[in-house]
Structure 1
Amino acid sequence: MILGRDRLNLLDVEVTAVQEHGMAGVLSGLIAAGGRRTVVGHNLHSCYLYHTLPAFRELYDSADVVLMDGAPVYALWKLQGHSAAPDTSFRVGSTDWIKHLGSVQGLDRVAVVGTNGTSNALACRKLETLLPGARVLGWAGENWGPERESSVVDELQAFAPNLVLVGLGMPLQETFLWHRRDDLPEAVYGAVGGALDQISGHQVLAPRWLGRLGFEWLWRLMISPRRVFGRVFIEPWKLAAILAGRKFRSTKTGASK
């Protein structure tokens, strides 16, 4: 069950046009379809990783849903004329769709993988409140390595979840999902990054109105300057160089034919 994709010509990536309020229906459909399903999101950081890490690219190319997580990604999609919607409802981050899990049909077992033990436990409790009657189990991402990874995979197989929220951070979570795709149990896997810490309250989520204006990066820069500085001020230029080089080579090849 792969939904339609829209190509963003400038970034050379594809995205899935889904509005926030439609995510419950999408997730219900993925659970009903069975198999291993993947939900990821694109921002400028993920676009850079997509063009530099093969495993990351393979996961995104095979994903069922590639949401428009970052404001620049949504803005470019809108500029290409894909939607006349006056709001930013097509820009959907992990915390945006997780809050609609209570409306997802067939969801009764949720696994939470990632962040530290305290934050993981708090996130699980919040999800239990959101999903009364569902079983929610957590596995912290501390000391992640081959041994810990194998143990988590075995325990996930025993738990047999419908949904797995993987918050190990980019690109570790995507590498894990791609390399262990044949070992993981059938479920919907959401690569949610720092959303687990936002759900638990360990990380303060930027006001949504700030995100709608495209300035969520400024909030993150103030909260975590060392982690975010390179992504905001350096990585976009690296991405631009990669895309420009690819365009130049393509043009040169076309001209020589």
Structure 2
Amino acid sequence: MKENYLGVDVSPLNYDELINALYNRLEEQQNSFIVAINPEKIMKAQQDTALRNLLNRADFQIPDGIGVILASRLKGGRIKSRVTGIDMMMRISEESVKRQKSVFLFGAKPGVAEEAKAGLERLYPGIQIAGTLNGYEKDPEVIKQTINDAKPDILFVAMGSPAQEYFIVDHMQELYPHIFQGVGGSFDVLSGRIKRAPEGFQRLGLEWFYRLLKEPKRIKRQMILPKFLLSVLKK
């Protein structure tokens, strides 16, 4: 049973439960659309009905944001821990090796997807990367044909949110894969171009604080968190 915060659904499943559900659906040739949910997206969805509908169309809305965890605790919900977009991508990739499923990387600047491919191959020896395509390709027919010719089981789309989610929703039924995830800047991290917060910050759910220390200008975005929690309490 999904939880709902200000009109946006959130899945309470943890990593292991998600992996089992995703790969069971894949074996049954059912499509699975994964979207990361955080307070910023939920608050934007208050003024953007199309965005709210888009987020709610996903099969799995992962709680990628400490604010969602806090909201669940305030409301006596079942969401106990974060499921971050990049870590979900890593778990799916790791499991793809065990189950001999293939992956396609679409998005980011020219060269980045290839570097992310190399990063995944170092992390998960034996991973099957069916292909890559940079996000500067804009012809939908070329994109669809390139992905479908590669016949991957899993598609990771790195175009930024919500563009990547709109792409998935608009084309999912015409594409070969069955697992679809928008992964934002994850290719940049896997390629080594951007560094994640140290593990200590990750474990404590304080990646947002680390980014704030690095980029003080983000303070305006971080002020969304208390507004979100107050709105949840009022509801």
TM-score per shorter chain, which class?
0.7 to 0.9
State how 1:1-257 maps to structure 2 within 5 Å.
4-8=1-5, 11-83=6-78, 90-100=81-91, 101-104=93-96, 106-129=99-122, 130=124, 132=126, 134-141=128-135, 143=136, 145=138, 147=139, 149-223=140-214, 228=218, 230-233=220-223
Say which one has the larger Rg. Answer: 1
Question: What SS class does the counterpart of residue 174 from structure 2 fall into?
Answer: coil
RMSD: 2.9
Q: Could you tell me how far apart the structure 2 residues matched to 1:33 and 1:50 are?
A: 32
Q: Segments of 4+ in structure 1 off by > 6 A?
A: 237-241
Q: Could you tell me how far apart the structure 2 residues matched to 1:12 and 1:58 are?
A: 9
Task: Give CA-to-partner distance per residue, 1:186-237, whole Å, 9 cap, x none.
Answer: 42101111122112221111124324444322222344566x455324x568
Count of matched residue pairs: 231
Relative to structure 2, which stretch is displaced further, 48-57 or 22-31? 48-57
TM-score of the aligned structures, taking structure 2 as reference length: 0.83
Unaligned runs of 5+ residues in structure 2 are: none
Question: What SS class does the counterpart of residue 99 from structure 1 fall into?
Answer: helix
Question: What SS class does the counterpart of residue 161 from structure 2 fall into?
Answer: coil
User: 1:54, CA displacement in angstroms?
Assistant: 4.1
Q: Percent identity among equivalent residues?
A: 23
Unaligned runs of 5+ residues in structure 1 are: 248-257
CA contact (8 A) 1:49 1:171 kept: no
Question: What SS class does the counterpart of residue 180 from structure 1 fall into?
Answer: helix
Q: Could you tell me how far apart the structure 1 residues matched to 2:75 and 2:198 are?
A: 27
TM-score of the aligned structures, taking structure 1 as reference length: 0.76
Residue 221 of structure 2 aligns to which amino acid in structure 1? R
